[in-house]
Structure 1
Amino acid sequence: MKYRHSLLPSSLNGLRVFEAAARHLSFTQAATELNVTQSAVSRQIRQLEDHLGFPLFIRQHRSLTLTGEGKEIALLLTRQYSDLNGMIRQLKTKENAPLRVKVAMSFGVRWLIPRLHSFKEQYPSLDIVLTSVLGFEDTALRLDDDDYDVAIYGLHRDPKSQYHKNMLRKEYLAPVYSELLTKTDKAISVDELLTYPRLHPTPDRSDWREWLKRNHKSELMNNSGLTFDTLDMALTSCFAGQGVTITDLMLVVHELKQGYLKLPRSATIIDSPWQYYYHCQLESDAVTNFITWLTEQLETEQAEMFEMAKQQGWQIIENQN
């Protein structure tokens, strides 16, 4: 009896190796992903090409390019592997499985965790497992990772990226300070605020640079003060009265309401080049309920922040680009 899929190689491992190599356009990176040697990847690709009777790659000095046939097969394999992986994930999901949420560190610590009790009140029997990362770049988060059900992350706006499909909200930046710094409960002006030491929440100091640029004060940018690699450390320093920092206001709404942090008089709030997004690895009632709760909470609090800005005389500048 003739094998039904006689055009396929007898071992499908070569197809798996090819899919990884095509996705990375690198035998070395494919070998790292599959935990094999680079020579093993090269050998598997050669054997697959011999079986098919046509080349899959154009091998150039220090680079790989897919042939036309290679592109078609790679596209089909990537889609099929993704669908199969998703189906297996669904089959392995049990009714009592915990909801696994991977979240950007500052968003998790400063916003999600303090509000998570309201979600648990609605779904008390659902267990939740939270994990965090310092930042989400292509190297930190892959959409086909299987260690989370929902990921929440912040990235620079890029409509062409696969990571930017489900936007949660914009990030709104403004400078803040503590009364421990100014030794007075009277609001200070923006010019006065800029005379105090700067607390930079990112090593590249991009938040301060963007805010000053949008306020036509780029000439006042300086690298003095303290520089941190997380917003949480910068805010802790700010609470201690060590200087002024710039922050996503949605992460400090409670502190603003309680007076622990203040904005200067007639402060300007800008929408950041960063935005928050989410990605779901599977469809389930738990995931749907969590995303619904999350978006409703954020919409409500953003409206409250806008109302607070109106009452306090803060100006919100939206970038039209």
Structure 2
Amino acid sequence: MSTRFHHHDLLRLFAEIARYSSFSTAASALNMTKGAISYQIKTLEADLGMILFQRTSRGVTLTGEGLKLLAICQTRYEEIEAEIHALKGISTRSLTVGVSTYFAARWLSPRLMSFMQIHPDVQIRIQPMIEFSQAEMQDVDLAIRWGNGNWIGGTVTPFMPMPPYPVGDRAAADLVIELGMKEAISHLTLLRDRDDSNVWSDWLNVAKLPRQSRRDALIVPDPNVRAQAVIDGQGIALMDDLVRDDLNAERLFRLSETDLPDYGYFLVQPHSSAPTGAVQSFSDWILGQS
């Protein structure tokens, strides 16, 4: 009986589904039906004799065997890509880093030249990105994200602790001095990064303040715009030490000494991204900068 593997074409499909962490999303992106995708994966699993995906309420996640197979596929595809580049005479390595303009302007940009001097063979592209869901569409190799690190869809590496704390304009600061934070916060608009964000709830819990049930929160996904909205008196926001220049210039005022110690910046390599040498070089460099 032959033990030869017959479904090499399904390995690319498998890698694409792993990239999207969803049969439905992958089906839409690949112009296939969800039923067809499910059938193909069952065929692949039957041929391999192992389960590759675990179904969850939020989509699908790779099993241990699935993670091993994905690593093999990505390594082989990377080798093929490198051979094609060699045939074409391409000597540079490319790297796309997804990052918010806030972090890029206030931290990354002043330091980036040192990486370029150390690795002149890496062609780096800074891709403005707010939501991690954009990483796959924008071909991001490595993302720099702020939060608590509890994310799916990528390999998360702690990079730089950066606890957030509430900031406001002078009027908000005066109100906190007058009424105290517990009373003042009920009169101030809370600026959030997403409608489903838990950051303010987490901070209120740590600060032992009542949960705010008002519906007047303003959603401002871009942290640069959010900081400016606070300066303009549109509300208060949880920001980190990258607004230090604004605090020193008294454009912003820290409203409480309480912060969220578990929050900061993380490197996230999407499951769809191959672990290339350029990714490793950049990761090693930036981890050494923190």
Tell me, yes or no, if the aligned pair for 2:93 and 2:121 is still in contact at 8 Å.
no
- Deviation by residue 1:134-191 (Cα, 9 ceiling, x = unmatched): 222xx4446xx893343222454449x5735421123411111233x3698xx94781
Q: Counterparts of 1:191 and 1:21 in 2: how far apart (Å)?
A: 51
Tell me, yes or no, if the aligned pair for 2:206 and 2:258 is still in contact at 8 Å.
no
User: Which residue does 1:277 correspond to in 2?
Assistant: 267
User: Which residue does 1:170 correspond to in 2?
Assistant: 161
Offset of 1:210 from its aligned partner? Answer: 1.8
Tell me, yes or no, if the aligned pair for 1:9 and 1:48 is still in contact at 8 Å.
no
User: Which residue does 1:107 correspond to in 2?
Assistant: 103
Offset of 1:231 from its aligned partner? Answer: 2.5
Identity of aligned residues (%): 24
Offset of 1:48 from its aligned partner? Answer: 7.2
1:253 counterpart = 2:249: no
Q: Counterparts of 2:51 and 2:155 in 1: how far apart (Å)?
A: 31
Unaligned runs of 5+ residues in structure 1 are 58-64, 66-70, 299-321
Larger deviation, residues 124-133 vs 209-218: 124-133
Unaligned runs of 5+ residues in structure 2 are 53-59
Q: How does 1:1-321 map to 2 (within 5 A)?
A: 6-8=2-4, 12-14=8-10, 16-17=12-13, 31-37=27-33, 77-91=69-83, 92=85, 94-117=90-113, 119-120=115-116, 127-136=123-132, 139-141=133-135, 147-158=139-150, 163-179=154-170, 181=171, 188=177, 191=180, 194=185, 197-202=188-193, 203-204=195-196, 206-218=198-210, 222-224=214-216, 226-247=218-239, 249-264=240-255, 267-272=257-262, 276-279=266-269, 281-284=274-277, 287-298=279-290
User: Which residue does 1:309 correspond to in 2?
Assistant: none
CA distance 1:113–1:216, shift in 2 (3 Å) = same
Larger deviation, residues 116-125 vs 87-96: 116-125
Aligned residues: 271
User: Which residue does 1:315 correspond to in 2?
Assistant: none
Name the SS for the 2:286 alignment partner.
helix
- Deviation by residue 1:187-217 (Cα, 9 ceiling, x = unmatched): 9478165365224122235322222221111
Name the SS for the 2:163 alignment partner.
strand
Aligned AA for 1:191? Answer: G
TM-score normalised by L of structure 1: 0.61
Offset of 1:129 from its aligned partner? Answer: 1.0
Offset of 1:29 from its aligned partner? Answer: 5.5
CA distance 1:189–1:33, shift in 2 (3 Å) = same
Tell me, yes or no, if the aligned pair for 2:156 and 2:266 is still in contact at 8 Å.
no
Name the SS for the 2:125 alignment partner.
strand
Q: Counterparts of 2:142 and 2:21 in 1: how far apart (Å)?
A: 28
Name the SS for the 1:255 alignment partner.
helix
Q: Counterparts of 1:55 and 1:296 in 2: how far apart (Å)?
A: 39
Q: Counterparts of 2:282 and 2:2 in 1: how far apart (Å)?
A: 46
Name the SS for the 1:172 alignment partner.
coil
**Could you say which structure has the larger radius of gyration?**
1
CA distance 1:23–1:222, shift in 2 (3 Å) = closer
Q: Counterparts of 1:118 and 1:243 in 2: how far apart (Å)?
A: 38
Offset of 1:131 from its aligned partner? Answer: 0.8
CA distance 1:215–1:33, shift in 2 (3 Å) = same
Q: Counterparts of 1:230 and 1:78 in 2: how far apart (Å)?
A: 33
RMSD: 4.7
Q: Counterparts of 1:182 and 1:22 in 2: how far apart (Å)?
A: 46
Aligned AA for 1:253? Answer: R
TM-score normalised by L of structure 2: 0.66
Aligned AA for 2:167? Answer: V
Tell me, yes or no, if the aligned pair for 1:199 and 1:237 is still in contact at 8 Å.
no
Q: Counterparts of 1:105 and 1:296 in 2: how far apart (Å)?
A: 21
